[in-house]
């Protein structure tokens, strides 16, 4: 029977009224749970018997904010209510691990003033979330265990009659009503005793004791019960000395709080747990064991009871509710942590000030390294009292926020364990807040080794976790492995030496591999106190100046020791868990493939991504290209020059001028165009933090040099400064020694620093000496400028220090040019990653336009290098071959000197070029005349010029020396000079390594032929002594008398 129009309107109006009872849902965090919201919707929809189309529309009417925008964007994709319901859950359901749901469910407790109905609904809400794991009988068990004690006895007596949760609710409500009536008759109002926790925590935390300094400040005044607490079992005495506590004299009258705390609540000093005496602390006992338990030395328990497990004396860690930057949070109050630490995930969710990037070396209490990526100022608000603290930001903390002893000490925070609360005092105001239940802590489990799983197979693998030893931890698999049909089960495991063993099943018909460091799941425990250790020198930087500062600064031998930068000590920065971490945004990923996708598509500007992809365009093998790309993306920050960067080292005494007075050279005059160019350059350098305004008495003039590409190079003429600077004798590597190292290499990578000098900070004492003037002001450099006499050796020293022992093995550097060389591709991958890691740690930036990666032929320092061979740069040779015939002596001499750079590639070079050397400005004839001679290119010089150009157009290629092959030396002498060639005997024949030639003097021309030939041999052996010494070699000469020379009775005196 259909409803009349009036009835239809009434039904519609009733539906609207009923729908208003459903709360609005915006999808914001910490709002209504999506499962409960949909549960309420379905209950109403079932009563009103609505169609799917109506349900979808009515649902939209109760959405607001982000949820409404998302719903409207996807409305057309909702075909029916089931699809809509699933989409809502997938989009807004907060991920919670199954283990966490289970723990939360079994630990539900009825609060003091909570009704039975409210408690019952709370249990059923949790049950609906995890009903696939929980039976109705378990629900009844949770209800029985969690109900307050006043109802528990009656319910236990009647539990045989209870078969369903609804029956339990009926019985509990009846008993609640009866008890309420009885209590009202007794007292006239309803009250109830405080409920006690049914389950006890079984995981150990630090033993908390009051400090001895607060026990009694005067023999005439009794001590107060409010003390500052510390860890009794702290095992780092060097750090203990650096942790101080509020002094007793902060309270002028310790008796003033006594009336609030009766005598039986005052904590008295506990006896030593080893010898049972009261005159010292346990940790200072003479009989204390060095390792394990202080009393017996065993490692499987704490000091409290040598015969029992340490779990019998456990304390819960201290968590309290606070406002962190006006955002509600639960923070761990940890007296054992020297510093305050915040997890990066929490920092991303709250508003905060500018983040300062830095790296530090901190260890947690379980000796795992914390990955500190920077520091941030935080505001901590406790019940209206605002405090500030500088917190370190980490990516691998097991809780969101730790308030350490630096915050506790500087804000007069007191931990009142008998009252289960903390108290804080500020400007006469005193507030407190209670402890809250500690959250669950999860540790990632990652594969120790690379594993291969055959089709339809099962394998037991080892995984590493960030906790040394633990029993009965809950392992939960990574759900992402299920997408690959790789399955592991939930399990109760033990951690031994940071290792667990778990079984993985490959349910596919193909072989699958998992790389080292892949996250296979998490292990869960209830949190324990997380002490954090730091270098003692770090405390002096973190503690603000004040009354307590003196006690916090380390004393003794190590008090004033400076921190030395050691680029080779990678233990401070290489952390477990960083293998799949983005080095730009510091986000963690389960596998290297996920990290690679993130790096390739995010984090870096499009320009950087295109340039990195351009570096590997020449690689034709897809697998090799992918392997190289992963390394380049992993260290993509090296190529990101969007922000100026400086390396983590400060130069000392780079410009040592002794006691010389400052030099001052007025600026050179310039055109208006040059002045405008100079102004733009100084503005750019100021903006990038390269220079700063100066009041220095030193000054050097600026020179603008036009580069090949037409742009202008900003230079300072430091010639006068260089004349009075003590020269740094640090050696630059010989270029021919560098080439000799590349003999067996087949793969090459070249890195070029982006304005390398400008990435090196200059000591403040040296900055005034770099000053220069323009018409707009007086400036000085904050970094190492170009043009200093000590610039090249200083920069070479820094690069050598960064590369460390890898130099001369697979990487070399000539000032700001780095070459990586390897014998095969797999080796080259490792070498590239190692060098990139070292440069990344030093905070260097590279010029991606001038870098080349994984080449089989590479241009380095003016020469083209291939596998075992070397030849001149074709572009440089082209410049010589395109030179026109000289029209002046200067042009002729300039040509022959340029060609001389390649003389090792040209046989008999000195003899061929001799006619051109006559045009040297230092000839005897010019020195006699003291005037410029009229130029006339002789026929011999013209022939030499064109002969050299012709030789240069040929393929000038030499082999690189190989000590494992036999050398051959060929020499010859002629009327005008001598010549030699060094060869190497290879399976492909004799290969030239280098040529030598020398013109004979007028006296040497008159020597006998045997002496000239012998002279050629001596000169060749002396020149190539580096290769020939210690090796047998073959000597070839076309002068036969030399063969019998050693057998003659009377030797030639000159040849001897």
| Packing angle of the helix pair 5-19, 34-48 (nearest 10 deg) | 160
Q: How buried is residue 1033: exposed, middle or buried, by Cβ count under 10 Å (0-12/13-18/19+)?
A: middle
On the CB side of 509, CA atoms within 13 Å amount to 0
Q: What are phi and psi of 997, to 5 degrees?
A: -150, 155
Q: Where are the beta strands (DSSP E) in 697-785?
A: 702-706, 712-716, 747-752, 772-774, 777-781
Taking the C-alpha atoms of residue 682 and residue 759, their distance in angstroms, rounded to an integer, is 17
pLDDT digits (tens, 9 = 90+) for 888-916: 777 787 787 777 777 777 777 777 777 77
pLDDT reported for residue 259: 42
Q: Is residue 653 part of a domain?
A: no
Q: How buried is residue 755: exposed, middle or buried, by Cβ count under 10 Å (0-12/13-18/19+)?
A: middle
Nearest alpha carbon to residue 498 among 529, 460, 466, 526? 466
Residues 507-528: what's their mean pLDDT? 77
893 shares a domain with 882: yes
pLDDT digits (tens, 9 = 90+) for 188-242: 433 343 333 333 333 333 333 333 333 333 333 333 333 333 333 333 333 333 3
Is pLDDT at 821 greater than 80 in this prediction? yes
- Beta sheet of 1033-1037, edge-to-edge order: 989-999, 977-986, 967-973, 1033-1037
For residue 35, what is the DSSP state? Answer: H
Contact criterion met (CB below 8 Å) for 1039 and 1010:
yes
pLDDT reported for residue 569: 37
pLDDT digits (tens, 9 = 90+) for 961-997: 887 888 888 888 877 788 888 888 888 777 788 888 8
Contact criterion met (CB below 8 Å) for 105 and 130:
yes
Is pLDDT at 725 greater than 80 in this prediction? yes
On the CB side of 918, CA atoms within 13 Å amount to 17
Taking the C-alpha atoms of residue 725 and residue 746, their distance in angstroms, rounded to an integer, is 43
Output the CA angle 321-322-327, nearest 5 degrees.
Answer: 115
843 shares a domain with 798: yes
Q: What is the pTM of this model?
A: 0.49
Taking the C-alpha atoms of residue 229 and residue 225, their distance in angstroms, rounded to an integer, is 11
Bridging pattern class, strands 1033-1037 and 967-973: parallel
Residues 137-163: what's their mean pLDDT? 79
pLDDT reported for residue 693: 92
Q: Is residue 887 part of a domain?
A: yes
Taking the C-alpha atoms of residue 224 and residue 577, their distance in angstroms, rounded to an integer, is 46
Ramachandran class of 201: left when φ > 0, alpha when ψ lies in -120 to 50, beta otherwise: beta
- Where among 292, 313, 334 does a domain terminate? 313
What band does 147 get if pLDDT is binned at 50, 70 and 90? confident
pLDDT digits (tens, 9 = 90+) for 610-667: 888 888 888 888 888 888 888 888 888 888 777 667 887 767 778 888 888 999 988 8
Taking the C-alpha atoms of residue 576 and residue 396, their distance in angstroms, rounded to an integer, is 10
Helices marked H in 241-331 — which ranges?
Answer: none
Higher-confidence position of 611 and 565: 611
Q: Is residue 607 part of a domain?
A: yes
pLDDT reported for residue 1016: 83
Helices marked H in 478-591 — which ranges?
Answer: 536-542, 549-552
pLDDT reported for residue 124: 83
Is pLDDT at 286 greater than 60 in this prediction? no
pLDDT reported for residue 284: 59
Is pLDDT at 244 greater than 70 in this prediction? no
347 shares a domain with 467: no
Q: Is residue 1 part of a domain?
A: no
pLDDT reported for residue 525: 65
pLDDT reported for residue 998: 83
Is pLDDT at 929 greater than 60 in this prediction? no
Contact criterion met (CB below 8 Å) for 410 and 426:
no
Torsion from C-alpha of 344, 348, 351, 353, nearest 10 degrees: 50
Length of the chain: 1056
Domain containing residue 55: 16-92
Is pLDDT at 303 greater than 70 in this prediction? no
Q: Is residue 707 part of a domain?
A: yes
Taking the C-alpha atoms of residue 627 and residue 96, their distance in angstroms, rounded to an integer, is 35
Bridging pattern class, strands 369-382 and 385-394: antiparallel
Is pLDDT at 250 greater than 50 in this prediction? no
Count of domains observed in the chain: 9
pLDDT reported for residue 768: 92
Is pLDDT at 363 greater than 60 in this prediction? yes
Nearest alpha carbon to residue 504 among 538, 522, 466, 477? 477
698 shares a domain with 811: yes
| Packing angle of the helix pair 939-953, 874-881 (nearest 10 deg) | 150
List the single range of 49-63, 663-677, 743-757, 925-939 with lowest mean pLDDT: 925-939
- The overall average pLDDT reported for the chain is 73
Higher-confidence position of 680 and 956: 680
In 3-state terms the chain splits into helix, strand, coil percentages (rounded to 5) of: 35, 20, 40
pLDDT digits (tens, 9 = 90+) for 509-519: 788 888 888 88
Q: How buried is residue 477: exposed, middle or buried, by Cβ count under 10 Å (0-12/13-18/19+)?
A: buried
128 shares a domain with 47: no
pLDDT reported for residue 406: 87
Tokens of 376: 């941030």
What band does 123 get if pLDDT is binned at 50, 70 and 90? confident
Contact criterion met (CB below 8 Å) for 162 and 140:
yes
Taking the C-alpha atoms of residue 749 and residue 769, their distance in angstroms, rounded to an integer, is 37
List the single range of 177-186, 210-219, 793-802 with lowest mean pLDDT: 210-219
pLDDT digits (tens, 9 = 90+) for 255-274: 444 344 444 433 444 566 66
Taking the C-alpha atoms of residue 575 and residue 573, their distance in angstroms, rounded to an integer, is 6
Bridging pattern class, strands 421-426 and 413-416: antiparallel
79 shares a domain with 106: no
Residues 745-768: what's their mean pLDDT? 89
Q: Is residue 304 part of a domain?
A: yes
Q: What are phi and psi of 883, to 5 degrees?
A: -70, 135
808 shares a domain with 841: yes
pLDDT reported for residue 457: 81
Contact criterion met (CB below 8 Å) for 484 and 562:
no
Residues 436-444: what's their mean pLDDT? 74
Residues 114-122: what's their mean pLDDT? 85
863 shares a domain with 982: no
Q: How far apart are the first and last CA of the chain?
A: 133
Ramachandran class of 30: left when φ > 0, alpha when ψ lies in -120 to 50, beta otherwise: left
Residues 398-410: what's their mean pLDDT? 86
Q: What is the CATH number of the domain that holds 1016?
A: 3.10.20.370
Q: What is the CATH number of the domain that holds 722?
A: 3.10.10.10
- Spell out the residues 6+ positions from residue 553 whose beta carbon is closer than 8 angstroms to its own: 539, 540, 543, 559
pLDDT reported for residue 831: 92
823 shares a domain with 694: yes
Taking the C-alpha atoms of residue 1044 and residue 21, their distance in angstroms, rounded to an integer, is 118
pLDDT reported for residue 100: 62
Taking the C-alpha atoms of residue 884 and residue 34, their distance in angstroms, rounded to an integer, is 83
Higher-confidence position of 588 and 193: 588
Q: Is residue 1038 part of a domain?
A: yes
546 shares a domain with 490: no
938 shares a domain with 852: no
Question: In which residue are the tokens 């000392």 written?
Answer: 652
pLDDT reported for residue 235: 36
447 shares a domain with 430: no
Query: What are residue 986's DSSP bridge partners?
Result: 989
Q: What is the CATH number of the domain that holds 137?
A: 1.10.1200
Higher-confidence position of 4 and 443: 443
Residues 510-539: what's their mean pLDDT? 65
pLDDT digits (tens, 9 = 90+) for 654-672: 888 888 899 998 888 888 8
pLDDT reported for residue 186: 62
pLDDT above 70 as % of the chain: 70
Q: Is residue 6 part of a domain?
A: no
pLDDT reported for residue 555: 38
994 in helix, strand or coil? strand
pLDDT reported for residue 341: 92
SS3 annotation, 787-842: CCCCHHHHHHHHHHHHHHHHECCCEEEECCEEEEEECCHHHHHHHHHHHHHHHHHH
pLDDT digits (tens, 9 = 90+) for 850-878: 899 988 888 888 888 888 888 888 777 77
Tokens of 153: 């006895």
916-920 long-range contacts, CB within 8 A, separation 24+: 916/892, 916/941, 916/944, 916/945, 916/948, 917/893, 919/886, 919/889, 919/890, 919/892, 919/893, 920/893
Tokens of 960: 């690189």
DSSP letter for each residue of 376-398: EEEEEEETTEEEEEEEEEES--S
Taking the C-alpha atoms of residue 591 and residue 556, their distance in angstroms, rounded to an integer, is 47
């Amino acid at each position: 029977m259909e409803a009349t129009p009036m009835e239809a309107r009434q039904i519609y109006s009733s539906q609207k009224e009923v729908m208003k009872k459903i709360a609005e849902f915006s999808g914001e965090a910490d709002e209504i749970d999506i499962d409960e919201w949909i549960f309420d919707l379905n209950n109403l929809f079932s009563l009103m018997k609505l169609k799917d189309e109506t349900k979808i529309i009515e649902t939209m009417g109760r959405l607001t904010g982000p949820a409404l925008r998302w719903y409207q964007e996807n409305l057309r994709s909702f075909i029916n209510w089931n699809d809509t319901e699933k989409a809502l859950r997938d989009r807004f359901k907060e991920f919670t691990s199954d283990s966490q749901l289970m723990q939360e469910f079994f630990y539900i407790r009825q609060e003091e003033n909570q009704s039975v109905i409210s408690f019952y609904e709370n249990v059923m809400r949790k049950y609906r979330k995890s009903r696939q794991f929980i039976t109705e009988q378990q629900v009844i068990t949770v209800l029985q265990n969690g109900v307050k004690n006043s109802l528990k006895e009656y319910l236990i007596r009647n539990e045989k009659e209870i078969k369903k949760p609804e029956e339990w609710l009926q019985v509990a409500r009846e008993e609640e009503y009866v008890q309420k009536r009885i209590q009202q008759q007794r007292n006239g109002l309803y009250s109830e005793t405080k409920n006690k926790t049914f389950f006890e925590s079984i995981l150990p935390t630090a033993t908390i004791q009051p400090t001895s300094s607060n026990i009694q400040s005067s023999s005439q005044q009794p001590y107060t019960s409010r003390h500052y607490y510390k860890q009794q079992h702290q095992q780092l005495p060097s750090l203990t000395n650096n942790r101080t506590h509020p002094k007793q004299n902060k309270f002028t009258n310790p008796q003033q709080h006594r009336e609030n705390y009766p005598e039986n609540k005052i904590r008295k000093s506990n006896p030593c747990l080893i010898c049972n005496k009261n005159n010292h602390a346990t940790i200072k006992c003479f009989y204390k064991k060095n390792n394990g338990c202080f009393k017996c030395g065993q490692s499987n328990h704490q000091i409290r009871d040598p015969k029992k497990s340490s779990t019998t004396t456990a304390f819960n860690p201290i968590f309290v509710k606070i406002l962190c930057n006006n955002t509600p949070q639960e923070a761990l109050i940890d007296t054992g942590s020297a510093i305050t630490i915040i997890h990066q995930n929490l920092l991303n969710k709250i508003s905060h000030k500018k983040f300062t990037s830095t790296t530090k070396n901190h260890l947690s209490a379980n000796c795992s390294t914390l990955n500190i990526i920077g520091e941030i100022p935080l505001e901590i608000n406790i019940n209206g009292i605002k405090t500030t603290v500088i917190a370190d930001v980490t990516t691998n903390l097991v809780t969101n926020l730790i308030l350490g002893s630096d915050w506790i000490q500087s804000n007069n925070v007191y931990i009142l364990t008998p009252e289960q609360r903390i108290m804080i005092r500020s400007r006469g105001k005193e507030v407190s807040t209670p402890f809250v239940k500690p959250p669950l802590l999860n540790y990632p489990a990652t594969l120790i080794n690379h594993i291969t799983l055959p089709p339809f197979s099962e394998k037991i693998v080892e995984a590493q976790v960030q906790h040394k030893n633990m029993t009965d931890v809950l392992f939960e698999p990574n759900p992402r492995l299920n997408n690959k049909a790789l399955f592991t089960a939930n399990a109760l495991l033990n951690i031994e030496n940071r290792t667990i063993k778990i079984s993985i099943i490959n349910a596919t018909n193909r072989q699958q591999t998992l790389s080292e460091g892949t996250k296979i799941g998490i292990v869960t425990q209830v949190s324990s106190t997380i002490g954090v250790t730091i270098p003692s020198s770090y405390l002096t930087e973190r503690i603000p100046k004040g009354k307590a500062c003196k006690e916090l600064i380390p004393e003794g031998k190590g008090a004033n020791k400076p921190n030395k930068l050691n680029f080779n000590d990678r233990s401070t920065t290489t952390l477990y868990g960083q293998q799949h971490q983005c080095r730009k945004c510091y986000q963690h990923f389960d596998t290297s493939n996920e990290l690679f996708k993130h790096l390739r598509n995010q984090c870096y500007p499009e320009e950087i991504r295109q340039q990195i992809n351009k570096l590997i365009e020449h690689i034709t093998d897809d697998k090799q290209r992918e392997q190289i790309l992963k390394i380049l993306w992993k260290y993509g920050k090296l190529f990101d020059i969007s922000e100026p960067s400086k390396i983590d080292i400060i130069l000392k005494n780079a410009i040592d001028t002794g006691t010389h007075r400052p030099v001052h050279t007025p600026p050179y005059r310039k055109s208006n165009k040059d002045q405008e160019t100079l102004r733009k350059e100084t503005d750019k350098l100021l903006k990038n933090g390269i220079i700063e305004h100066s009041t220095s008495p030193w000054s050097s003039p600026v020179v603008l040099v036009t580069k090949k590409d037409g742009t202008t190079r900003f230079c300072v003429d430091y010639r006068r400064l260089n004349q009075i600077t003590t020269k740094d004798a640090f050696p630059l590597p010989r270029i021919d020694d560098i080439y000799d190292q590349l003999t067996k290499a087949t793969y090459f990578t070249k890195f070029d620093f982006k304005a390398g000098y400008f990435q090196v900070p200059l000591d403040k004492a040296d900055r005034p000496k770099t000053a220069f003037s323009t018409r707009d002001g007086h400036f000085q450099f904050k970094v190492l400028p170009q043009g200093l006499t000590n610039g090249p050796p200083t920069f070479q020293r820094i690069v050598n220090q960064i590369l460390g022992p890898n130099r001369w093995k697979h990487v070399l550097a000539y000032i700001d040019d780095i070459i990586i060389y390897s014998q095969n591709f797999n080796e080259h991958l490792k070498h590239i990653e190692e060098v990139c890691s070292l440069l990344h740690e030093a905070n260097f930036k590279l010029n991606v336009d001038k870098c080349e990666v994984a080449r089989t032929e590479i241009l380095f320092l003016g020469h083209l290098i291939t596998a075992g061979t070397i030849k001149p740069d074709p572009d440089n040779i082209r410049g010589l071959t395109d030179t026109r015939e000289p029209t002046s002596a200067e042009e002729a001499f300039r040509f022959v000197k340029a060609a001389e750079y390649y003389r090792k590639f040209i046989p008999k070079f000195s003899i061929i070029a001799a006619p051109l050397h006559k045009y040297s400005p230092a000839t005897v004839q010019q020195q006699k005349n003291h005037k410029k001679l009229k130029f006339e290119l002789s026929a011999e010089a013209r022939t030499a010029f064109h002969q050299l150009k012709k030789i240069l157009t040929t393929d000038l290629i030499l082999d690189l020396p190989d000590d494992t092959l036999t050398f051959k030396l060929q020499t010859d002498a002629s009327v005008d000079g001598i010549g030699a060639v060094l060869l190497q005997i290879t399976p492909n024949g004799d290969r030239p390594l280098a040529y030598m030639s020398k013109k004979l003097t007028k006296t040497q021309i008159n020597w006998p032929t045997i002496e000239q030939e012998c002279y050629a041999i001596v000169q060749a052996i002396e020149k190539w002594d580096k290769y020939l010494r210690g090796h047998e070699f073959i000597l070839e000469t076309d002068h036969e008398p030399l063969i019998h020379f050693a057998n003659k009775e009377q030797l030639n005196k000159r040849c001897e």
